Structure 1
Amino acid sequence: MHTAPAPAPAPVPVRVPLYRQLYVQVIVAIVLGALLGHFAPALAEQFKPLGDGFIKLVKMIIAPVIFLTIVTGIAGMTRLSTVGRVFAKAMAYFLFFSTLALIVGMIVAHTVKPGSGMNIDPASLDTGAVEGFVQASHEMTLTGFLLDVIPSTLVGAFVDGNILQVLFVAVLFGIALAMVGEKGRPVQAFLEALITPVFKLVHILMKAAPIGAFGAIAFTIGRYGVESLANLAWLVGTFYVSALLFVLVVLGTVCRLCGFSILKLCRYLRAELLLVLGTSSSESALPSLMEKMEKAGCEKSVVGLVVPTGYSFNLDGTNLYMTLAALFIAQATNIDLTLGQQVTLLLVAMLSSKGAAGVTGAGFITLAATLSVVPTVPIAGMALILGIDRFMSECRSITNFIGNAVATVVVSRWEGALDPVQLERALDGAADAEYIADAGGAPRGRVLENTTTGEKTA
């Protein structure tokens, strides 16, 4: 009599010591970097290459991660019309909430009036420090942005590291691979196998995150000093509180309507959020975000389309900052804007913010682009906030990052491509997700396992 083999026991999550957990290491690194920057600023500035080097390491792997995730996701779709539907839903979400962030920034500026009473004469401002940003902003036209999405060559996108170009090539290649049918199966199998070592490489690179965060924060505090916040603390505080309320109230309401908690999502992504805080760049956590979103029950194809696209089109923090900063400059220089001028400012900001990837300084450049089109607000006023922009960049990046994480879950739910049980397990048991990540390898497929019975279901 033959007996069925006993089912393999479910993997038991291993409790990782605190000192080995990435988010704890990043916290310690940020604190040490801030202390060094405050007490030994000259020495701290010398650590800037550590932060720059880590961001370059992450950017090195972004293009392969996006390409492999999107191509294998699209190639595995039974209907190619799904690609267009997911993209349309994502763009509708991005447009609505990006516009809402612009409006919130405008409302906050009128309510708090952070620049009121400064009485700055625009002629007395030194514009030399912002000329580089103004020059860069002139290149950010809508036509130029759209043409820039198309790479010069098929491999040019990977050479330049342009996220939208990689996305464009990946979508086209994924569609072509799906259309050739059986002949494309060997290529699809190879790319799916290649995902495993690529994501393993991501885990290896992320071990250097504390070093990168230490170098970046040490340079920031050492170069600009905490004292640089004193004169403009009201603007910085207003922006941080506004961003916090936007995340908790606006995005929190969206999350609640979709059946999950924004606070649990932030806890699940705490290591990535701290990394973004330390490096002041949301791109530093892009590969890890894509992996974690898939582990949280979002289908690979949706993650591959929504996350990279959101990094250029769903910049809630940048949009909130742009209208708030523009009206701050107007208030500080005693310029009264009519309702029509403010609406024009909002519309221009809506266009100029598209294509600003989540990298340090992008928000400042898009602000320069906006003010150059709306001459009523003096572009020289940007010199007022240049000294504190680095501190505000951190908040912009964190808000952008959270907004893209929420967008991924929401669009997945709209598309019926979200596993609610897997999402709940990931958000309630972050330790399990970290155990899976530490084990290495690529994101798992949508296979659920009952930890009590050991039964697995697709």
Structure 2
Amino acid sequence: MGKLFRNLTFWVLVAITGGILLGHYRPDLAQMQVLDQPFQLKVMGQELSVGKTLSEFLSGIFISLVKLFINPIIFLTITLGIVSMGDLKKVGRVGAKSLLYFEIVTTFALVIGILAAMLIQPGSGVDTSAVKGGDISKYTKGSEEFSWLKFLKDNFTLQVLIVAIITGVSLTFYKGKDKVVQFLQPLSKYIFKGLHWVMLLAPVGAFGGMAFTISKYGISTLLPLAKLMGTVYITMALFIFIVLYFILRMYRVSIFRFLKYIREELLVVLGTSSSEAALPTLMEKLERMGCSKSVVGLVVPTGYSFNLDGTTIYLSMCMIFLAQVFNVDLSFAQVLSIIGILMLTSKGAAGVTGSGFVVLASTLTAIKVIPVEGLALLLGVDRFMSEARAITNFIGNGVATIWIANNEKEFDRNKMELAFNRVHETEDVVKDNIEGETINH
């Protein structure tokens, strides 16, 4: 029993359950105002925000704290990874292979989303009057066209990725690189140690996130769109347990053991609806299970911007859903156009709050067949589907890293077995005891 109470997974599950109960039975308490106005601050390219209600305040504090660690960890991991890799040809090969993998898998996700929506037809017979409309102006404003320059400008994480690559490559030519590495390696360890302390607040963030969602939207108001939600969740589950299953099976890695290994991170993502909340610890766990630091450092941050399997499925299904709601018969050419445009615009759906709606608005505007006003239908249900998006994106990036590490022969299966069997936890305890005894003596 004592071991259970020390388990972070247990407390996150308790927090999620508590958040649902509070949001359902005491929405007034969940929506109780604790700040006069929302607090927003931009630090190191990350938009940190804390809402004025109790539930938003709790979830916002946790997510904002985790965001502070993302860019420093990405910079240090990539820089040290490239320096340790040494061979610049290998760096280029891994980067090119990652982008090719991302494009193939996300395109496959797009097609799956469209086929599933066409087969199940969640938008057929939806009574639009049963769902309250909302102000969609903030989502449609400036969504007329997609610009790679704007995408780079708005995505600070991608900027950090580029700077880290340049720094890593530059250090390989620098004669005094050993001194720089000796400074960066301990710094990286301290940052990860600080992150571990912050992750102890994960139950607080999960509690606030769930309480906010249930108290604001409720469950009964979502019944008209339950079919869409069910379709999205089923499709993403099939993508994980069929597509990603076979991708890992190519290198004899079990998707089920991997999911069990990252279960704490998955619960954090579920509770907060944000893959950012567990991104740094995913990178650490992938290294611990045998992926080389250099591959993890290149693939995970790049995938954060380009490998959004869950978002891609969601966007394609919502497009077809809205077409069905408004009785728009899409031709085969128009469906191909949707796939082509989403292949481009979906790459801009990372790291920006409400980005899913912006991308959807961009695509609807470009297609000019489905009314953009249809976005108002999705406002209430979007939050409930964001958990599925974030979890699928999160798992997809982990699978991509494992696949590329194996493909590059940069994967240690012995480490994987130790990690999956949780042997490292025992080793860490023994190591801490030894270090403690050494200090005492």
Give the TM-score of the pair, scaled to structure 1.
0.85
1:27-76 Cα shifts (integer Å, max 9, x gaps): 00000011000000121122211101111100001111111111111111
What does residue 172 of structure 1 align with?
A: 166
What does residue 115 of structure 1 align with?
A: 123
Contact kept in structure 1, 2:11 and 2:203, CA below 8 Å = yes
- State how 1:118-267 maps to structure 2 within 5 Å: 118=126, 129-135=135-141, 137-138=143-144, 140-146=146-152, 162-181=156-175, 183-267=176-260
Residues 53 and 440 (structure 1 numbering): CA distance in 2 closer, same or farther, change over 3 Å?
farther
1:379-431 Cα shifts (integer Å, max 9, x gaps): 1111111110000011000000000000010010111111112113222x1x3
The reply on whether 1:34 has 2:20 as its aligned counterpart is yes
**Secondary structure of 2:313's aligned partner:** helix
Give the deviation of 1:243 after TM superposition: 0.4
The one-letter code matched in structure 2 to 1:189 is Q
Give the deviation of 1:148 after TM superposition: 5.1
What does residue 37 of structure 2 align with?
A: none
Unaligned 5+ segments in structure 2 are: 32-53, 433-441
Residues 347 and 48 (structure 1 numbering): CA distance in 2 closer, same or farther, change over 3 Å?
same
The reply on whether 1:80 has 2:88 as its aligned counterpart is yes
Structure 1 stretch displaced more, 249-258 or 399-408: 249-258
Give the deviation of 1:297 after TM superposition: 0.3
Contact kept in structure 2, 1:125 and 1:380, CA below 8 Å = no
What does residue 455 of structure 1 align with?
A: none
Residues 434 and 237 (structure 1 numbering): CA distance in 2 closer, same or farther, change over 3 Å?
farther
Structure 1 stretch displaced more, 391-400 or 257-266: 257-266
Partner Cα separation in structure 2 for residue 369 and residue 330 of structure 1: 15
Of the candidates 43, 56, 72, which is equivalent to residue 48 of structure 1?
56
Residues 435 and 56 (structure 1 numbering): CA distance in 2 closer, same or farther, change over 3 Å?
farther
Contact kept in structure 2, 1:368 and 1:379, CA below 8 Å = yes
Give the deviation of 1:240 after TM superposition: 0.3
Give the deviation of 1:139 after TM superposition: 7.0
The one-letter code matched in structure 2 to 1:287 is P
Residues 378 and 84 (structure 1 numbering): CA distance in 2 closer, same or farther, change over 3 Å?
same
Contact kept in structure 2, 1:109 and 1:328, CA below 8 Å = yes
What does residue 4 of structure 1 align with?
A: none
Partner Cα separation in structure 1 for residue 127 and residue 20 of structure 2: 33
Partner Cα separation in structure 2 for residue 321 and residue 108 of structure 1: 11
Partner Cα separation in structure 2 for residue 213 and residue 22 of structure 1: 12
Residues 324 and 291 (structure 1 numbering): CA distance in 2 closer, same or farther, change over 3 Å?
same
Contact kept in structure 1, 2:310 and 2:393, CA below 8 Å = yes
Of the candidates 352, 356, 369, which is equivalent to residue 363 of structure 1?
356
The one-letter code matched in structure 2 to 1:142 is W
Of the candidates 98, 105, 109, which is equivalent to residue 113 of structure 2?
105
Of the candidates 64, 74, 79, which is equivalent to residue 66 of structure 1?
74
| Percent identity over paired residues | 47
Give the deviation of 1:362 after TM superposition: 2.5
Structure 1 stretch displaced more, 253-262 or 309-318: 253-262
Partner Cα separation in structure 1 for residue 62 and residue 193 of structure 2: 17
What does residue 303 of structure 1 align with?
A: 296
The reply on whether 1:391 has 2:384 as its aligned counterpart is yes
Contact kept in structure 1, 2:244 and 2:396, CA below 8 Å = yes
Structure 1 stretch displaced more, 338-347 or 135-144: 135-144
**Secondary structure of 1:357's aligned partner:** coil
Contact kept in structure 2, 1:299 and 1:417, CA below 8 Å = yes
The one-letter code matched in structure 2 to 1:264 is R
Residues 297 and 262 (structure 1 numbering): CA distance in 2 closer, same or farther, change over 3 Å?
same
What does residue 312 of structure 1 align with?
A: 305
The reply on whether 1:432 has 2:432 as its aligned counterpart is no
Partner Cα separation in structure 2 for residue 439 and residue 323 of structure 1: 50
The one-letter code matched in structure 1 to 2:159 is Q
Unaligned 5+ segments in structure 1 are: 1-14, 150-161, 442-458
**Secondary structure of 1:30's aligned partner:** helix
The reply on whether 1:378 has 2:334 as its aligned counterpart is no
Question: Matched residue pairs, number?
Answer: 410
Partner Cα separation in structure 1 for residue 97 and residue 351 of structure 2: 21
Residues 223 and 147 (structure 1 numbering): CA distance in 2 closer, same or farther, change over 3 Å?
closer
The one-letter code matched in structure 2 to 1:70 is I
Partner Cα separation in structure 1 for residue 430 and residue 199 of structure 2: 14
Give the deviation of 1:119 after TM superposition: 6.5
Residues 433 and 330 (structure 1 numbering): CA distance in 2 closer, same or farther, change over 3 Å?
farther
Contact kept in structure 2, 1:282 and 1:359, CA below 8 Å = no
Partner Cα separation in structure 2 for residue 264 and residue 256 of structure 1: 12
Partner Cα separation in structure 1 for residue 261 and residue 180 of structure 2: 34
- What do you get for the CA RMSD once the two structures are aligned? 2.1
Partner Cα separation in structure 2 for residue 298 and residue 110 of structure 1: 38
The one-letter code matched in structure 1 to 2:11 is Q
Give the deviation of 1:302 after TM superposition: 0.6
What does residue 45 of structure 2 align with?
A: none
Contact kept in structure 1, 2:152 and 2:159, CA below 8 Å = no
